[in-house]
Amino acid sequence: MPGLYNKNEFKDNCGFGLIAHKYGESSHAILTKSIDALVSMTHRGGIGSDGKTGDGCGLLINIDHSFFSNQVFKEQKIELPENFAIAQVFFKDNIEKI
């Protein structure tokens, strides 16, 4: 069985950070620490190579699917399928020109 690291498969990248609760418990403190860690990593923390825009960094978190689905239906009258994704997208001020 191959090991976790194979120098022939190594690709250059910025890496990633991982912050999690040892026993898998959800907490606002974990989210806050994750945001602080993301911001402290200048390149991965939202500043792209041009120094003006973000570079696609983000947080991957678990959500309570039942709670979220119920809220979306309650607020937007949209029934979500079993599998769905959530994203936050930022647009330029004047979206008509995009």
Mind telling me the catalytic residues? Answer: 14
What is the C-alpha separation between 38 and 17, in angstroms, rounded? 8
Sign of CA dihedral 34, 40, 41, 44: positive
88-93: long-range pairs with CB below 8 Å, 24+? 90/54
